[in-house]
Amino acid sequence: MTTLVLIEAEGASIKKASLSAVAAARVFGAVDVLLVGAEGAQEAARIEGITRVLHADSTPPLAECIAALIADRAAQYDHIVSAATAYGKNILPRAAGLLDVQPITEVIEIIDADTFVRPIYAGNALATVRSRDAIKVLTVRNANFEAAKLGETASAPIESVSAAVEIPDARFVGIALTHSDRPELETARVVISGGRGLKDAENFKLLEPIADRLGAAIGASRAAVDAGFAPNEMQVGQTGKIVAPDLYIAVGLSGAIQHLAGMKDSRVIVAINMDPEAPIFGVADYGLVGDLFEVLPQLQAALEA
Ligand X SMILES: Cc1cc2nc3c(=O)[nH]c(=O)nc-3n(C[C@H](O)[C@H](O)[C@H](O)COP(=O)(O)OP(=O)(O)OC[C@H]3O[C@@H](n4cnc5c(N)ncnc54)[C@H](O)[C@@H]3O)c2cc1C
Residue 203 engages another protein in binding (rule: CB under 8 A):
no
Among ligand X, another protein, none, what does residue 273 contact (CB within 5–8 Å per kind)?
Answer: ligand X
Number of residues binding to another protein, judged by CB under 8 A: 88
Residue 273 engages ligand X in binding (rule: CB under 6 A):
yes
**Cα–Cα dist 211/52, whole Å:** 38
Residue of 2, 73, 98, 109 that binds another protein (CB under 8 A) = 98
For the annotated binding site for FAD, the residues are: 196, 221-222, 235-239, 252-259, 273
Relative to beta strand 217-220, strand 247-251 is unpaired
Window 123 to 152, contacts with another protein (CB under 8 A) = 123-133
Which of the stretches 33-41, 44-52, 88-96, 155-163 binds another protein when contact is defined by CB under 8 A?
A: 88-96
**Cα–Cα dist 265/65, whole Å:** 35
Residue 275 engages another protein in binding (rule: CB under 8 A):
no
CA angle (110, 108, 7) in 5-degree steps: 85
Return the half-sphere exposure (C-beta side, CA atoms, 13 A cut-off) of residue 296: 23
For residue 149, count other CB atoms closer than 10 A to its CB: 12
Contact between 252 and 204 (Cβ < 8 Å): no
Among another protein, ligand X, none, what does residue 190 contact (CB within 5–8 Å per kind)?
Answer: another protein
Among ligand X, another protein, none, what does residue 262 contact (CB within 5–8 Å per kind)?
Answer: ligand X
Which helix (H) or strand (E) segment holds residue 52: the answer is: strand 52-56
Number of residues binding to ligand X, judged by CB under 6 A: 27
Residue 202 engages another protein in binding (rule: CB under 8 A):
no
Residue of 46, 79, 222, 264 that binds ligand X (CB under 6 A) = 222
Contact code string over 62-91 relative to ligand X, x by CB under 6 A: ------------------------------
Q: What is the DSSP letter of 65?
A: H
Among ligand X, another protein, none, what does residue 278 contact (CB within 5–8 Å per kind)?
Answer: ligand X
Exposed (0-12), middle (13-18) or buried (19+): which is 11, by Cβ within 10 Å?
Answer: exposed
CB of 218 to another protein, least distance (A): 14
**Rounded-to-10 torsion of CA 75, 76, 78, 80:** -90
Residue of 18, 59, 82, 85 that binds another protein (CB under 8 A) = 85
Window 188 to 207, contacts with ligand X (CB under 6 A) = 195-197
Which of the stretches 68-76, 84-92, 140-148, 269-277 binds ligand X when contact is defined by CB under 6 A?
A: 269-277
Among ligand X, another protein, none, what does residue 254 contact (CB within 5–8 Å per kind)?
Answer: ligand X
Residue of 45, 95, 161, 217 that binds another protein (CB under 8 A) = 95
Rounded to 5 degrees, what are φ and ψ at 110? -105, 115
Quote the distance between the C-alpha of residue 58 and its chain's center: 25
Contact between 54 and 41 (Cβ < 8 Å): no
For the annotated binding site, the residues are: 196, 221-222, 235-239, 252-259, 273
**Cα–Cα dist 76/87, whole Å:** 23
CB of 270 to another protein, least distance (A): 7
Helix (H, G, I), strand (E, B) or coil at 254: coil
* Sheet with 30-36, side-by-side order of all strands: 104-107, 136-140, 79-83, 2-7, 30-36, 52-56, 158-160
Give the binding site for ligand X (CB under 6 A). Answer: 195-197, 221-224, 235-240, 252-254, 256, 258-259, 262, 273-275, 278, 291-293
